Amino acid sequence: MTNESVMSPVISLAGVVKSYGDLTVLHGVDLHVERGELAAIVGPSGSGKSTLLNLIGTLDRATSGTVRVAGRDVGALNDQQLSALRARHLGFIFQQYHLAPGRSALDNVADGMLYAGLPQSERRKRAASALERVGLGHRAGHRPCELSGGEKQRVAVARAVVGEPDLILADEPTGALDTKSGEAVMGILRDLNADGATIVIITHDQAIAASLPRQVRVRDGQVIDDRGPVIAA
């Protein structure tokens, strides 16, 4: 990790516009997330929050403006550099888990470090530790079809955190879960944040957003409200 990435906000968006042809989805968005924050980006369907997720996660590029992630100007990076940035600095948690069906929980987590340059034995060792961290060490050998929805999402959380990324992006992480499982996953995310992880949760759930220290509210492609403290770097 460079000194620049340590000193800079984990996320910094300045005047970000995103258009698809004649349709402008984001209109001059400014957003900064400091290291150690636990924040929600919340808004209804069509508000632009998913587009923000794609830009922050380096899965898409802004039409104009600047997107910096972990101190790097995303717009200045080529595809190979973007892939390296994602592998080293970002962890993703998706609503639908995206686990490989034929792989064990342990291997699904270890596969999250395929591009980290580590030998398989070290990847599996770290994966086992990450599964213990989310309370699933006893299910390491089970495939996704043998796990409940809540357990699958905890595997996805373990995969996201195993490489100790600068930023964890969670896209509707409780959307496919029952209330009890959703509460368990949110508890794990809060514990990870208490241990120092920077976490941004994209959600339409007002109750989840209200329970977090910071809520960034998006509507019609603009940030309309930003509540909660920003932690100094």
pLDDT in tens, 143-194: 999 999 999 999 999 999 999 899 999 999 998 899 999 999 999 999 999 9
DSSP 8-class letter at 122: H
Residue 6, pLDDT score: 56
R_g of the chain, CA atoms, integer Å: 17
The string of DSSP codes covering 124-157 is: HHHHHHHHHHTT-GGGTT--GGGS-HHHHHHHHH
Q: Locate tokens 């509460």: which residue?
A: 183
Return the percentage of the chain with pLDDT > 70, whole number.
95
Residue 142 has pLDDT above 70, yes or no: yes
Q: How confident is the model at residue 230 (pLDDT cuts 50, 70, 90)?
A: low
Lowest mean pLDDT among 32-36, 89-93, 117-121: 117-121
Q: What is the pLDDT of residue 233?
A: 42
| Cβ-contact 187, 11 below 8 angstroms | no
d(CA 116, CA 130) in angstroms, rounded, equals 16
Distance (Å, whole) CA 223 – CA 221: 7
Confidence check: pLDDT of 228 > 90: no
Average pLDDT rounded to a whole number, residues 64-84: 94
**Do the bridges between strand 199-203 and strand 167-171 make them parallel or antiparallel, or are there none, so unpaired?**
parallel
Q: Which of 214, 176, 31 is nearest to 96 (CA)?
A: 176
Give the integer Cα–Cα distance in Å for 30 and 12. Answer: 8
What integer best gives the mean pLDDT of the chain? 91
Cα separation, 227 vs 225, whole angstroms: 6
pLDDT at 232 > cutoff 60: no
H helix intervals, the chain: 3-7, 49-56, 79-89, 105-110, 120-133, 149-161, 179-194, 206-210
pLDDT digits (tens, 9 = 90+) for 11-48: 999 999 999 999 999 999 999 999 999 999 999 999 99
Is a pLDDT exceeding 60 seen at residue 1?
Answer: no
Domains of the chain: 36-59+78-227 (3.40.50.300)
Side chain identity at residue 146, one-letter code: E
The model's pTM is 0.89
Q: Judge whether residue 88 has pLDDT over 70.
A: yes
Instruction: Evaluate if residue 116 carries a pLDDT over 90.
Output: no
What 8-state DSSP symbol labels residue 78?
Answer: -
